[in-house]
Amino acid sequence: MTETGASSHRVAGTDKDVLVKVENLQKYFPVQTTSLFRRNHDQVHAVDGVTLEVRRGETLGPVGETGCGKSTLARCIARLCDVSAGRVIFDGRDITGLTPRQMRPLRREMQIIFQDPYGSLNPRRRVGSIIGDPFALHGIADGAERKRKVQEVMELVGLKPEHFNRFPAEFSGGQRQRIGVARALALRPKLIICDEPVSALDVSIQAQIINLLVDLQREFNLTYIFIAHDLSVVRHVSDRVAVMYLGKVAELAPAEDLYQVPRHPYSNALLSAVPVPDPKKSSDRHQIILIGDVPSPIDPPAGCRFHPRCPKAQERCATEEPALASVLGDSAEHVTACHFPVEKGEDLSNTSRVSVPPSGSQTT
Amino acid sequence: MSLSPGDIVAIEKVGVSAGVPPPEGAAATVIEGRSPWRLAYERLRRDRASMISLGVIVLIILVAIFAPVVAAITGHGVYEQFRTTGLSPDGLPVSPSSHFLLGTDDQGRDILVRVAYGARISLIVGVVATLLEVVIGTVLGLAAGYFGKVVDTVIARVIDIVLSIPFLLFAISLVSISHPSLTIVIVVIGIFGWAAVARVVRGQVLSLREKEYIEAARALGAGPWRIMFIDILPNIVAPIIVYTTLLIPVTIVIEASLSYLGVGVPPPTADWGTMISGAQQVYQQAWWYLLFPSAALLITTVAFNIFGDGLRDALDPRAEQIYK
């Protein structure tokens, strides 16, 4: 069920250009519901057979609803959790089975920026020691040398180096996120995983942090995996976007391609749900309202994961799982896992299974 | 670059202190963070009951330290029996007077001196045994909470077992097998007391280890020991301190109980529990023999309890919100 044509979208570019390669990655979480006499071993299929590559210097943006597995994917790549099946190859090295101890030296090369700038900084530690941690943990600098390096990084991300001795509680949300960025950047990693780095911030602050991240990427040739659920943010920062649904990649394409010609019906629905800040335009457009909820990842639907909610679904979708491949004459870069991809200009909101929305309402 | 109002204030302060020779700390306070400890200390200082009880605790500690001085001033040794002046003709203790300020006991010894010396035993046991409990309890609680799985199961079961053993009965039999001594008392109390601490610590760790900053530490490559002691421990030090302060009076009372039952610190060492036990025979004729050691015990435990409560209020993170 997870063959998904592992190599079908292996596109131009040698392995030298690839920093992270994920092959058929699966991550199941056991759910134990113990009743008196029996124990159910259900599993949440958080990530279920994802194959993709992250190229050096690019920004890959996994998008999707809550629970589609994008954060789990990131945590598996960073090896913060074990992988159920499949392989993660980082910088030419298979890191799938490495123990935490073996991972340690590799932590210098991949870092994470977390979503919640309040939860990701230890409230009992001073900013200097939080940002100094990477240096201390990897034995890179000590004492005055470390302090100097920390202050350098602080300046780089737009913090005042004099605030070295302050506590996280004395900073605003945006400043705290800068601390998180500084910590991730301290060792100049090759890969930074941004796990919804701006979702918890004010819109005005979001722009600052995003611009900071973009500038830093340019300056240090960083590779980002940029997770977000705000599609306009993703469009702005990503080179390529991976639309995920229920633990699988539904569509993977260069950002502009995806926003111009989304092929997967789910991508179409997702894009049509982006709020338009103009009420007139908003009432004119055709919003695709999906019926029902996301099925339980404990027992995902057979065939195409999306078929129970898909306006274009046919019998074949319920039995045969579509593989990622370029469709309808798209470039090899643009791959879609759908039997009946959406043509350009096709209006899904008129399909029989979809109710025409009252203007301005959101997708459910 | 935009400046927040705070930055401007900071710059002004720096400017001012750059012109004038900086009064120590003026420039530093601009940069220096206000640590959670500092905030807690400032709150504690405003709490009158805590400060008074702290004063009482300090006083008791001073009395314990300077017990020999008390003995020297009165001229009465701690073991010295004054059979002529310290006992009435029919062999009963003499009441408080200018000579024996708090009276004497049934052996003709000065109660003032013995209460002062008794403070030493109470404080030593109270502090050392409590520290023993807290250290064992914290380490095991941290391990149980952080590692989880088998480690947690084993430690949690041991905690349950220890907590379900009737402490006094066990302590009495344990002490009576071996020779009663100060060390034995401390060890026995430590062995039984850690479980409650471990349970508290474990609960705190269970909730803390899900925090994002713990995951951040792991993402940086921190090992389990570093995470436990550098990332988690500082966040639970406050409840541990409060718990410790409230555990000290409990330990003092347990020690006095053991001595009262005759399985604690052996006589003739001056000890409040032993004194209370001895006073039982004669308290109808010599109320002072019962009153003063009991009062010393009461004042000590009350002082620690009030101080512990004050500490909890000061360290409570919810209170912190108000002062932010």
Q: What is the mean pLDDT of residues B15-40?
A: 52
Dist CA A217 CA A55 (whole Å): 13
Please check whether residue B39 lies inside any domain of the structure. Answer: no
Please list every residue in chain A whose beta carbon sits closer than 8 Å to the beta carbon of residue B33.
126-127, 163, 165-167, 170
A16-109+189-350 adopts what CATH topology? Rossmann fold (3.40.50)
Please check whether residue B18 lies inside any domain of the structure. Answer: yes
- Given a cut of 60, is residue B110 above it in pLDDT? yes
pLDDT of residue A7: 40
Same structural domain, B11 and B93 = no
Please check whether residue B197 lies inside any domain of the structure. Answer: yes
Please check whether residue B41 lies inside any domain of the structure. Answer: no
Same structural domain, B110 and B223 = yes
**Strand boundaries in chain A, DSSP class E:** 18-34, 39-55, 59-63, 85-90, 93-94, 110-113, 191-195, 223-227, 240-245, 248-254, 335-336
**Nearest Cα residue in chain B from A155:** B1
pLDDT in tens, B241-281: 888 888 888 888 888 888 888 888 887 888 888 888 888 88
Nearest CB to A133 within list B1, B31, B220: B220
Please check whether residue B165 lies inside any domain of the structure. Answer: yes
The domain locations on chain A are 16-109+189-350
Could you tell me the mean pLDDT of each successive run of 10 residues in chain A, 364 residues long?
39 66 88 65 84 91 86 89 89 87 88 89 88 88 87 90 86 90 90 89 87 91 88 88 90 89 88 77 71 80 86 84 84 88 74 44 42
Nearest CB to B231 within list A116, A122, A162: A122
pLDDT in tens, B224-239: 888 988 888 888 888 8
Rounded to 5°, the CA angle A32-B228-B322 comes to 95
Same structural domain, B62 and B15 = no
Confidence of residue B14 (pLDDT cuts 50, 70, 90): very low
Same structural domain, B11 and B153 = no
| CATH number of B290's domain | 1.10.3720.10
Dist CA A263 CA A23 (whole Å): 23
**Distance to chain B for A239, nearest Cα, Å:** 25
Cβ–Cβ of B235/A124 closer than 8 Å? yes
Same structural domain, B262 and B141 = yes
Nearest CB to B234 within list A103, A108, A125: A125
Please check whether residue B57 lies inside any domain of the structure. Answer: yes
Same structural domain, B28 and B85 = no
Q: What is the mean pLDDT of residues B284-288?
A: 80
The mean predicted confidence, pLDDT, of chain B is 79
Same structural domain, B22 and B82 = no
Dist CA A51 CA A85 (whole Å): 12
Same structural domain, B292 and B243 = yes
- Given a cut of 80, is residue B319 above it in pLDDT? no
Task: State the ipTM, two decimals.
Answer: 0.78
**Any idea how long chain A is?**
364
pLDDT of residue A254: 92
Question: What is the domain count for chain B?
Answer: 2
Same structural domain, B120 and B14 = no
The residue whose two tokens read 């982006």 is: A274
Same structural domain, B101 and B215 = yes
Confidence of residue B88 (pLDDT cuts 50, 70, 90): confident
pLDDT in tens, A19-34: 999 888 888 888 776 6
Q: Which two tokens stand for residue A18?
A: 């690839």
**Strand boundaries in chain B, DSSP class E:** none
Chain A residues within 8 angstroms (CB to CB) of chain B: 78, 80, 100-101, 103-105, 107-108, 111-112, 114-116, 119-127, 133-134, 137-138, 158, 160, 162-167, 169-170, 172, 180, 183
Same structural domain, B171 and B270 = yes
pLDDT of residue B322: 41
Crossing angle for the helix pair B233-260 and B272-279, to the nearest 10 degrees: 30
Strand order in the sheet with A39-55: A39-55, A18-34, A85-90, A93-94
Confidence of residue B135 (pLDDT cuts 50, 70, 90): very high
pLDDT in tens, A267-291: 888 888 877 777 777 666 667 777 7
Same structural domain, B86 and B23 = no
The alpha carbon of residue A159 and the mean position of all alpha carbons in its chain are separated, in whole angstroms, by 27
User: B230: domain range?
Assistant: 46-323
